[in-house]
Amino acid sequence: MIESLLHLDGSILLFIQEFLRNPLLTPIMRVVTTLGNNGAIWILLTILLLAFPRTRRVGCMLTAALIGTLLINNIILKNLVARTRPYEVIEGLTYLVKKPTDFSFPSGHSGCAFAAACIMFRRLPGKYGVPALILAIVISLSRLYVGVHYPSDVLFGIISGIVISYVAEWIVGRLWKISPETSESE
């Protein structure tokens, strides 16, 4: 069963490389995937949300979610699973960006993107939440396109990001209610 899943993972990446990569899309996907490096775009959005009193609570939720994905996905799971990057294993697969220095599973880009975007989607008006969710999807797909993650890495990153978003939202919601400074202003 696991062998079949690994084969499917590799086949999907080779399909993307052979049939979807093209000179028009490649530069776009390189830029999109770079937006997710170290959670950069999500950190910027978090800082922006923290700057305004009306969105500060959502900014705190994003902060908790980003810290959660860093700890769970990038520090614990990547080192525990220690999955080799696909371009090192799949014959003929080429990567299109600078070689990542960490392990492959789970996708930190996908986890971070979905943790932040799901909170924004649930907590902010649609004109902000929907584009955030679309960006998270495109960043996640870009990791496959550039050849640095298996589909299962990305899928688990998405799932973990969604779960972490709910946990972060719950934790901040509970802390916000018991904090004397914020309970007076709400």
Distances (CA, A) of 36 to 70, 83, 143, 182: 13, 20, 10, 31
| Cα–Cα distance measured from residue 76 to residue 9, given in angstroms and rounded to the nearest whole number | 23
pLDDT of amino acid 1: 73
Contact criterion met (CB below 8 Å) for 126 and 52: no
Write down the pTM of the prediction.
Answer: 0.92
Domain 2-178 classification at class level: mainly alpha
**pLDDT tens sequence across 31-50:** 999 999 999 999 999 999 99
Does 5 have pLDDT greater than 90? no
Give residue limits of the domains in the chain: 2-178
- How buried is 130 (Cβ within 10 angstroms: 0-12 exposed, 13-18 middle, 19+ buried)? middle
Q: What is the DSSP string of 59-72?
A: HHHHHHHHHHHIII
Q: Say if CB 134 and CB 27 are below 8 A apart.
A: no
For residue 120, is pLDDT > 70? yes
Distance, CA of 45 to CA of 48 (rounded, Å): 5
Closest CA to 109 of 165, 76, 169, 153: 153
Whether residue 4 has pLDDT greater than 60: yes
Return phi, psi of residue 121, to 5°: -65, -40
d(CA 172, CA 149): 31
Instruction: Name the more confident of 7 and 60.
Output: 60
Query: How far is the CA of 57 from the CAs of 42, 66, 128, 158, in angstroms?
Result: 15, 14, 15, 23
pLDDT tens-place string over residues 52-110: 999 999 999 999 999 999 999 999 999 999 999 999 999 999 999 999 999 999 999 99
